[in-house]
Amino acid sequence: MIGVFDSGLGGLTVLRSLANRFPDVTFCYLGDHANVPYGNRPSDTIVEFSRRGVEALFARGARLVMLGCNTATAVAARRLQQSWLPGSGWTGYNVLGIVAPTVEAATQTPWAVTTPQYPQKFNSDLIAVFGTTRTITSGVYREEIRKRCPKVEVLQQICAHLAGAIEDEASRDELDGLVKEGVTALLEQTKGGVPDRAILGCTHFPLVDDLFRTHLPPATRILSQPQLVADSLEDYLTRHPHYLGGFHPQPRNLTMLTTGDASEISSRARIFWPDVPQFEAVEIGLLPGARNKG
């Protein structure tokens, strides 16, 4: 079983892509609706919320958890992988994030390669990145792209209220206004240049990708993060098939968990994914004593 963790509904864009790509794999999704949005929270809080979410998914049988959230990935992935996991007792379990596949696609460079190669070292494209406050201030996209392609210009734009507005089911007009504001602010930074590629660096944003398409210049290609994450996971699971093990507590392929109100979240989720199974409410942080670490 594979776990997918997000602060709220945005990770559904990732889960949906993964569920389509791997129809025989069991997934467990956890949305931390009690604490959404994460994007303007302090880093330590995001790390702690993400750790609790990951651990709750491990405890329910996922050996591998995908942080289906750019904010959690940008702020917490490395800390969880390097500082928490090795001493946590969860031997044989792993956490992945969604920044790496996106940077790989943006730079056409494998994540393991961290220095400029030919022809990447001559790549002088302009890449636009939109994200939450915490994702953008982490600088993770700029840093990881420029390590591999130092001549690429990375322009970043905080869209501080967009994920929250999507979660709150703001009207299309309101969402359109927020997207337009973000794109306009980014284009002001280009001084007339046209971004070659745009990264919608928040898993909520594909839910309004049509609005980004409308406001970005036609020549700007929008990278589809959910699809890139599925491509990357396919490659990862080919190399690490044992992560498909673990126990499957329920006889179905998709288990949907929320720290919020299950019936309210279930009906909101259907706006974004009509066939999404019903959510169940869970309390995370109160972990069951019986961990399966086999």
Catalytic residue numbers read 69, 202
Closest CB to ligand DGL among residues 26, 203: 203
Closest CB to ligand DGL among residues 90, 162: 162
Contacts to ligand DGL by CB under 6 A: 6-8, 10, 36-39, 69-71, 132, 135, 163, 202-204
String of DSSP letters for 141-180: HHHHHHHH-TT-EEEEEE-TTHHHHHHTT--HHHHHHHHH
The minimum distance between CB 213 and ligand DGL, in angstroms, equals: 19
The radius of gyration of the chain's CA atoms, rounded to the nearest angstrom, is: 18
Q: Which two tokens stand for residue 220?
A: 């700007």
CA 284 – CA 140 distance, rounded (Å)? 28
Tell me, what amino acid is at 179?
V
The minimum distance between CB 161 and ligand DGL, in angstroms, equals: 10
CA 177 – CA 132 distance, rounded (Å)? 16
145 touches 154 (CB < 8 A): yes
The minimum distance between CB 139 and ligand DGL, in angstroms, equals: 15
The minimum distance between CB 59 and ligand DGL, in angstroms, equals: 23
Closest CB to ligand DGL among residues 185, 244: 185
The minimum distance between CB 169 and ligand DGL, in angstroms, equals: 15
CA 84 – CA 79 distance, rounded (Å)? 7
Closest CB to ligand DGL among residues 47, 202: 202
- Give the residue among 187, 181, 232 at the shortest CA–CA distance from 66: 232
Eight-class DSSP state of 23: T
Which single residue brings its beta carbon nearest to ligand DGL? 39
Helices 225-239 and 99-107: crossing angle in degrees, nearest 10, is 100
117 touches 126 (CB < 8 A): no
Residue given tokens 């959690």 in the structure block = 72
CA 281 – CA 294 distance, rounded (Å)? 26
CA 277 – CA 90 distance, rounded (Å)? 29
109 touches 14 (CB < 8 A): no
Tell me, what amino acid is at 259?
T
Closest CB to ligand DGL among residues 26, 132: 132
The minimum distance between CB 200 and ligand DGL, in angstroms, equals: 9
Closest CB to ligand DGL among residues 6, 209: 6
